[in-house]
Amino acid sequence: LALLVAQSEAVLNGLVFYLFVYGAAVLAAFAVLMNWFGTAPDMLLDQLKGAMKQDKAGAIVLTLAFLSMSAVPLTGGFFSKVFMFAPAMHSGLYQVL
């Protein structure tokens, strides 16, 4: 959407913010998972049970990263999507569909 209305500076700022937030969330999630599992070839979701008891900080970072990537309100991912959609809506892009 940002590329369709890329004439304004607000859209470019929103695009940079979007890339930064999602990049940081992905890096945080992979950093925590690599810290827990290293280079283990077989990682199963069942192995994440009880992660909060073992590493509270890592579990909180992983949870916040996943919430941000799914754009739950009051996370960085939500606000980055708002900054992407608002200029598109303001320029009348919703009338195309």
Q: What is the pLDDT of residues 8-50, one digit of tens each?
A: 676 778 788 888 999 999 999 999 999 988 877 787 878 888 8
Contact between residue 88 and residue 8 where contact means Cβ atoms under 8 Å apart:
no
- In this prediction the pTM is 0.79
Q: Tell me the backbone φ, ψ of residue 68, rounded to 5 degrees.
A: -70, -40
Q: Would you state the structure tokens that stand for residue 74, as one six-digit string?
A: 């009051």
Cα-to-chain-centroid distance, residue 66: 7
